[in-house]
Amino acid sequence: MEFAEFADRVAEIEAESADLGTVTLLASLFADAGTDLETVVRFVQGRVFPAWDSTTLDIGPRLCHEAIARAAGPNVSADDVEDKLAELGEIGAVAASYDFGGQRGLAAFGSGGQDGLTVAELDSKLRDLAAVSGSGSEDTKLKILYGLFNRTDPDEARYLARLVLSEMRIGVGEGSVRDAIAEAFLVEPEDAAAIRDDDADDETVDDARERRDRHIETVARALQVSNDYGMVAALARDEGEDGLDSVHLEVGRPIQAMLAQAGTAADALESWETVGVETKFDGARVQVHRDESNSVSLFSRNMEDVTGALPEIVEYVESAVGSPAILDGEVVALDDDGEPLPFQEILKRFRRKHDVAKMRDEIRVELRAFDCLHAKGEDLLDEPLSVRHEYLSEVLGEDSDAVSDLLLSDDAEEIAAYEADALEAGHEGIMLKNPEAAYSPGDRGKNWLKRKPDVETLDLVVTGAEWGEGRRAKFLGTFLLSARTDDDYETIGKVATGITDEEIADLTELLEPEIERESGQEVDIRPSVVFEVGYEEIQESPTYSSGYALRFPRFISVREDKTSETADSLERVERLAESQ
């Protein structure tokens, strides 16, 4: 498929406001994608690599602006691109506003657009770009990117810019892609037509919906297990339901973590006969994969590969686990007496790429595993927690410190005593789990409840900042925070309190490459870094676009284990505001 056609079709999808219409357009794009299907499915989500793959293009706004400026000609600088961004509001519109002399230009000179980019070529070039590393890599990336922009017409440039910055923003969520895969390759055309036909009788529509929903369910399961939308689309097309049913967990390919809601022991006892009670460890989530040849990989809750940062966990798993397995758990930091250290300490180790050996001496970390997703050649997602926990004990050894205890109880007092002990021992709280429940990846359902006595904090995305004054003029000081919505961010407050001088320098280093635009002291920042902030109260307020403001916000830490996509949503802010 020509990238120009992709851009046309995506523009049509962007202009469609109805969800059902979006799914239909997506389904027809997928059906027409031929050998490019996997790439097209990823591109519409703003991805080059599957969700489980932590490879990134590593292109910041600055590099992208520079590439656009070069392609736009000698009279345009990266600063001009930034100014235009301030005016137009998003990078796609900026890229589309220049004439890079792509297809249209060439056609005008009679070359007939032979130099047009195809989806496959673009994919391969972007993969080359992602593989560039070492000294001079910025320049090489710039050259590749500039070369690509140079070959685009305005419509293509719009989506190329958004793609390389992973912000397609065409109103296509994961649910739409899932439904479109089902519609393109599994749902009977008569059923799809009946669902859309306003005049069809209720029974026909209900039956058609039921059949469609079963197909969607099959696609959803394959997606949960593989985290690879492209592969699942290709399987649905080439091998149908049977192909999708045959998708299994693969050791080395991370899946999304199951998540928890806040809840109490009373909630748990009301919902389930017996409650599974565990310590809530104050560490960082980790998924442990041990393959056939005893090679171990570790992944964060964002499915990022953190193996290199945690050598002692790798060594422990190598020695303790005798066969292929996938475990879920928490990495905790401990002091010399084996007492838990606060969450901030583990963050100094997690995702670290430099000085790993030095930090290993300074901060001791250990694994606390609480779930087993694959062992003895079996996928265990559909097994109840109580059974998965038995597998876990078998894999790591019944008495291992690395296995989190699972207390099964129906007694409120016993649970309260367990909670008191956990807090006394310096843990964050307890988890209350339905022992009969399956493991549902990515799901924040009611089967796992978290109970911690501390006041809630918010994990908010940094979308802006201000340069400081005087002594702090070289540093970013006040940070604008936003809550996530479906495909955007709404501001909710600024934080400047609780940050030490040392942290200010670190935060500046972290955020400076993400600056999209500057005007005076104020800067816009690409949503990517997440701050955990405390506050006294959430108030309704017209000052910020979310309609809320935080009273006395204070910085707690950078949530290095979260991304702008897993930060707190505006919905959560609304719920917290209601419940205070």
Ligand X SMILES: Nc1ncnc2c1ncn2[C@@H]1O[C@H](COP(=O)(O)OP(=O)(O)OP(=O)(O)O)[C@@H](O)[C@H]1O
Residue nearest to ligand X (CB): 285
Q: Which stretch binds ligand X (CB under 6 A): 153-161, 190-198, 277-285, 464-472?
A: 277-285
List the one residue out of 498, 508, 461 whose CA is nearest residue 480.
461
Question: Of 285, 348, 472, 575, which one interacts with ligand X (CB under 6 A)?
Answer: 285
Q: Decide the pairing of beta strands 458-467 and 530-534.
A: antiparallel
Question: Of 42, 70, 158, 280, which one interacts with ligand X (CB under 6 A)?
Answer: 280
What is the C-alpha separation between 191 and 182, in angstroms, rounded? 12
| Shortest Å, Cβ 450 to ligand X | 4
Give yes or no for residue 268 binding ligand X (CB under 6 A). Answer: no
What is the C-alpha separation between 448 and 433, in angstroms, rounded? 4
List the one residue out of 120, 134, 383, 132 whose CA is nearest residue 249.
383
Give yes or no for residue 431 binding ligand X (CB under 6 A). Answer: yes
Question: Of 155, 278, 383, 516, which one interacts with ligand X (CB under 6 A)?
Answer: 278
Set 84, 141, 280, 562: catalytic member: 280
351 is in an annotated binding site: no
For residue 178, give the 3-state DSSP assignment: helix
Give yes or no for residue 330 binding ligand X (CB under 6 A). Answer: yes
370 is in an annotated binding site: yes
Residue 122: CB atoms within 10 A of its CB come to: 24
Q: Which stretch binds ligand X (CB under 6 A): 53-61, 242-250, 256-264, 393-401?
A: 256-264
Q: Which stretch binds ligand X (CB under 6 A): 118-126, 274-282, 333-341, 460-468?
A: 274-282
The answer to whether 172 and 13 are in contact (CB under 8 A) is yes
What is the C-alpha separation between 244 and 229, in angstroms, rounded? 12
What is the C-alpha separation between 184 and 192, in angstroms, rounded? 10
Strands (E), 352-475: 364-375, 378-379, 407-409, 429-433, 448-451, 458-467
Residue nearer to ligand X on the CB measure, 195 or 430: 430
Residue nearer to ligand X on the CB measure, 281 or 475: 281
Phi, psi of 341 (to 5 degrees): -95, 160
Give yes or no for residue 404 binding ligand X (CB under 6 A). Answer: yes
| Shortest Å, Cβ 30 to ligand X | 31
Tell me the number of residues near ligand X by CB under 6 A.
14
Residue nearer to ligand X on the CB measure, 36 or 278: 278
Residue nearer to ligand X on the CB measure, 230 or 276: 276
SS (H, E, C) 255-270: CCCCCCEECCHHHHHH
The answer to whether 74 and 98 are in contact (CB under 8 A) is no
Residue 280 annotated as catalytic: yes
SS (H, E, C) 514-566: HEEEEECCEEEECCCCEEEEECCEEEECCCCCCCEEEECCEEEEECCCCCCCC
Q: Decide the pairing of beta strands 530-534 and 554-558.
A: antiparallel
358 is in an annotated binding site: no
Residue nearer to ligand X on the CB measure, 107 or 259: 259
| Shortest Å, Cβ 342 to ligand X | 12
Give yes or no for residue 260 binding ligand X (CB under 6 A). Answer: yes
Torsion sign across C-alpha atoms 240, 245, 249, 255: positive
What is the C-alpha separation between 72 and 67, in angstroms, rounded? 9
Residue nearer to ligand X on the CB measure, 6 or 370: 370
Question: Of 6, 149, 185, 281, which one interacts with ligand X (CB under 6 A)?
Answer: 281
Residue nearer to ligand X on the CB measure, 16 or 330: 330
Question: Of 6, 370, 418, 544, which one interacts with ligand X (CB under 6 A)?
Answer: 370
Binding mask 58-87 for ligand X (x = CB under 6 A): ------------------------------
| Shortest Å, Cβ 410 to ligand X | 19
Torsion sign across C-alpha atoms 506, 509, 514, 516: positive
Residues that bind ligand X (CB under 6 A): 257, 259-260, 278-281, 285, 301, 330, 370, 404, 431, 450
Annotated binding site: 278, 285, 301, 330, 370, 444, 450
Residues classed as catalytic: 280
